[in-house]
Amino acid sequence: MLDNLVKLREQFKQELEAVEIREELESIRIRFIGKKGLVTSELKNLKNLSGDMKKQAGKEVNILKNDIEQSIIAYQKIIADKEYLAEIEKSEKYDFTIPSRSNMGSLHPITIIQKEIEDIFKTMGFIVEDGLEVQTEYNNFEAVNIPSDHPAREMQDTYYLDNGQLLKTHTSAAQNAIMKKYGAPEPGKPLRVLFPGRCFRNENLDASHENTFFQLEGMMIGEDISISNLIYFMKVLLSEVFKTDVKVRLRPGFFPFVEPGFELDINCLICGGDGCSTCKHTGWLELLPCGMIHPNVLELGGINPDKYTGFAFGLGLTRLAMMKYEIKDIRLFNSGNLKQLKQFTI
Ligand code: PHE
């Protein structure tokens, strides 16, 4: 029987080498290890043997069966590759040098500009934090000095969930958690954090209002942070982003969480200041509300307002992208219109 196994192994090897197509491989498989196959019948013959002979032959026949199975699996792959290549050769039109027509992905313009600003601020020692989109009413309003009866809430109507939480109306909703996370800064090491995020408000949609938009907020807290620090950082930011001298103006602005508060406007880069639908025909775009963090807000965040001061700014990222890429209608951003969105590349 052992001789027979050696012969079978040799025979299988020869036949396998001659195999060209899938069907031939299958018929070899059946002939050798199928139910009535040559190796299978050797297995059945084992019962006629006895003692050591049975043991040794049993071992050998199982090894052979296993080897054959493995060889067949390996050959299946070889044949599949061969078939694939043959298929390609058959279709003469196949030209590997033609560029792909598949839909290559591209970054969303908001993502591009967000990364750009993050990079600018990272070089100035800022950490980037991720704020939650679903927030508690406390974080979104109370913690930033907007109590429930405050009229500022009216301008920030939003979407409330059944559990009482809401879709955040501004990135400032993360201020409190960030202050608590990092605590009071060490001397000479002001806390510098950037927190971009998607915000939601109940808006009447038009060319410059969307119910879903992006902001990018920044905060710096230390022992002697002043308005001049704020102005410096805003100037660096805008000149880097627009790579040109943009005109800016500062107006007093009211936000319950800053004191004093400002509106930083830039001249409308779409119409050059003549007036268009994006700038509501004023020639200016409100781009960057900012100010010195209100003592109440610091206190609620666990930071002593008698010792520390800080500035905060809330950049309208969507609006900035409109300016930078000269996009006239804010609704484009969430439209999913690939033809338009794919035009923006880094
Ligand atoms: N959170 C404010 C808003 O969305 C913007 C802001 C941020 C203003 C930080 C001042 C300082 O309207």
pLDDT of residue 20: 87
Q: What is the pTM of this model?
A: 0.68
Of all atoms in ligand 1, which is nearest to the CA of residue 215? 4
For residue 215, the CA-to-ligand 1 centroid distance in Å is 9
Residues 6+ apart with CB under 8 A from 308: 184, 185, 221, 222, 223, 225, 298
Per the CB < 8 A criterion, the answer to whether 249 and 281 are in contact is: no
Domain ranges of the chain: 2-90, 109-341
What's the chain look like in SS3?
CHHHHHHHHHHHHHHHHCCCCHHHHHHHHHHHHCCCCHHHHHHHHHHHCCHHHHHHHHHHHHHHHHHHHHHHHHHHHHHHHHHHHHHHHHCCCCCCCCCCCCCCCCCCHHHHHHHHHHHHHHCCCCEECCCCCEECHHHHCHHHCCCCCCHHHHHHCCCECCCCCEECCCHHHHHHHHHHHHCCCCCCCCEEEEEEEEEECCCCCECCECCEEEEEEEEEEECCCCHHHHHHHHHHHHHHHHCCCCCEEEEECCCCCEEEEEEEEEECCCCCCCCCCCCCCCCEEEEEEEEEECHHHHHHCCCCCCCCEEEEEEEEHHHHHHHHHCCCCHHHCCCCCHHHHCCCCC
For residue 259, the CA-to-ligand 1 centroid distance in Å is 12
Return the CATH number of 109-341, one of 3.30.930.10, 3.30.420.40, 3.20.20.140, 3.40.50.1000.
Answer: 3.30.930.10
Pick from 257, 287, 320 the residue to mutate for probing ligand 1's pocket: most ligand atoms within 8 Å of its CB.
Answer: 257
Task: Output the furthest CA–CA distance in the chain (Å, rounded).
Answer: 104
pLDDT of residue 239: 80
For residue 271, the CA-to-ligand 1 centroid distance in Å is 26
Report which protein residue has its CA nearest ligand 1's atom 7. 314
For residue 343, the CA-to-ligand 1 centroid distance in Å is 30
pLDDT of residue 93: 66
Report which protein residue has its CA nearest ligand 1's atom 12. 170
Contacts of 95-102 with CB under 8 Å at 24 or more apart are: none
pLDDT of residue 94: 63
One-letter identity of residue 159 = Y
Task: Count Cβ atoms below 10 Å from residue 90 Cβ, excluding itself.
Answer: 8
Residue 321: CB within 6 Å of ligand 1? no
Per-residue pLDDT of the chain (346 residues; tens, 9 = 90+): 788 889 999 999 999 988 888 899 999 999 999 999 999 998 888 888 888 888 998 999 999 999 999 999 999 998 998 888 888 777 766 677 777 766 677 889 999 999 999 999 999 999 999 889 999 999 999 999 999 999 989 889 999 999 999 999 999 999 999 999 999 999 999 999 999 999 999 999 999 899 999 999 999 999 999 999 998 898 788 888 888 777 788 899 999 999 999 999 888 877 888 999 878 899 998 889 999 999 999 999 999 999 999 999 999 899 889 888 888 899 999 988 888 888 876 5
Residue 289: CB within 6 Å of ligand 1? yes
In the chain, what is the straight-line distance between the N-terminal and C-terminal CA atoms, in Å?
A: 72
